[in-house]
Amino acid sequence: MTERKPVTLHRLREMHARGEKIAMLTAYDASFGRLCDEAGVDTILVGDSLGNVIQGQPGTMPVSLEDMAYHVAAVARGNRNCWLIGDLPFGSYHESREQALRSSVKLVQAGAQMIKLEGGGWTADTVRFIVERGIAVCAHIGFTPQTVHALGGYRVQGREEDAAQTMLRHATELAEAGAAMLVMEMVPTAVATRITQALPIPTIGIGAGPGTSGQVLVLHDMLGITRGRLPKFVRDFMDGAPSVGAALRAYVDEVKGGTFPDPATHGY
């Protein structure tokens, strides 16, 4: 068996250029970091969703920077080849560009190769400031869990044309500021596809249809571990799978093959 090469930002850009879909999953510990790596996942996001699925919190807002650094370090110890992204949690980048840089440095020192932050508009200047200092940034627009209360709950973003135009403007500004990747969450398929086609960087969808450059799901959701009502964009890949590893490989294969997500079942 040929050992796979580590995924780098350069390789992700090459994948995007040739139209190869990017398979991303969240992970929060060394064991799942290793399993994602062995399954051929391209990039792991150590998401602040750990507040919900690991800590049992009602949302992501209580997650601290120290929590994120701890879990980034744990995943980094299990992972060898996946590109590793660390989420900047709520309150860790909102005060100033300097605060955002300090928080980013902490996650990079823990093992992250890229940091992710939520929001458009005001964040473009912060992205530029971080990127100019040598840290890769993934932006996140659409539904942003850290601002769930301001958004009025878990709602699809960009349904109206004015909102879609604002989202496109924010995405363009973030790419121009130096963001190397963009996550779009709970965005109508047509809008996410339109933004993807307009940008020079890869887009990763979660509830944004099949027209993005890649997909991400929360690990515990796609393994059927999460209880309660799940978003319509989630699919349980453990259903019928003989092992966790097989479920992860099926996810990678379906993302790469363009069969997940199904726009009729998983899109808006």
Residue 3 domain-assigned? no
Residue 117 CB neighbours (<10 A): 25
Tokens of 26: 């969240």
What is the span of the domain harbouring residue 257? 9-266
Residue stretches of the annotated binding site for 3-methyl-2-oxobutanoate: 48-49, 87, 116
Residue with tokens 């309150």: 91
129 inside domain: yes
Establish if 184 belongs to a structural domain: yes
Confirm whether 2 is domain-assigned.
no
243 inside domain? yes
| Binding-site residues for Mg(2+) | 48, 87, 118
Residues sharing a CB contact under 8 Å with residue 166, sequence separation 6 or more, in sequence order:
120
pLDDT at 223: 98
CATH code assigned at 237: 3.20.20.60
Give residue 4's identity as a one-letter amino acid code.
R
Question: Token pair of 4, please?
Answer: 């796979």
Task: Determine the Cα angle at 38 with ends 249 and 52, to 5°.
Answer: 75
| Inter-residue contact 178 to 136 (CB < 8 Å) | no
DSSP secondary structure letters along the chain: -PPPPPP-HHHHHHHHHHTPPEEEEE--SHHHHHHHHHTT-SEEEE-TTHHHHTT--SSSTT--HHHHHHHHHHHHHH-SSSEEEEEPPTTSSSS-HHHHHHHHHHHHHHT-SEEEEE-SSTHHHHHHHHHTTT-EEEEEEES-GGGTTTTTSS-----SHHHHHHHHHHHHHHHHHT-SEEEEES--HHHHHHHHHH-SS-EEEESS-TTSSEEEE-HHHHTT---S---TT---TTTT-SSHHHHHHHHHHHHHHT-SS-HHHH--
Residues 6+ apart with CB under 8 A from 29: 71, 74, 75, 78
**76 found inside a domain:** yes
pLDDT beneath 50: ranges in the chain: 1
The verdict on residue 110 lying in a domain is yes
Q: How far apart are CA 223 and CA 211, in angstroms?
A: 24
Residues taking part in catalysis: 185
pLDDT of residue 151: 72
- What is d(CA 58, CA 232) in angstroms, rounded to the nearest whole number? 19
From residue 38, how far is each of 45, 133, 185, 218, 267 by CA, in Å? 16, 32, 26, 18, 28
pLDDT at 154: 76
pLDDT of residue 2: 61
Binding-site residue numbers are 48-49, 87, 116, 118
- In the chain, the number of structural domains is 1
Q: What is the pLDDT of residues 118-174, one digit of tens each?
A: 999 999 999 999 999 999 999 999 999 888 777 777 788 899 999 999 999 999 999
Is residue 131 in a domain? Answer: yes
Residues 91 and 88: their CA atoms lie apart, in Å, by: 8
Give the pLDDT confidence score for residue 214 in this predicted structure: 98
Q: Is the peptide bond before 261 cis (omega within 30 degrees of 0)?
A: yes
Percent of the chain surpassing pLDDT 70: 99
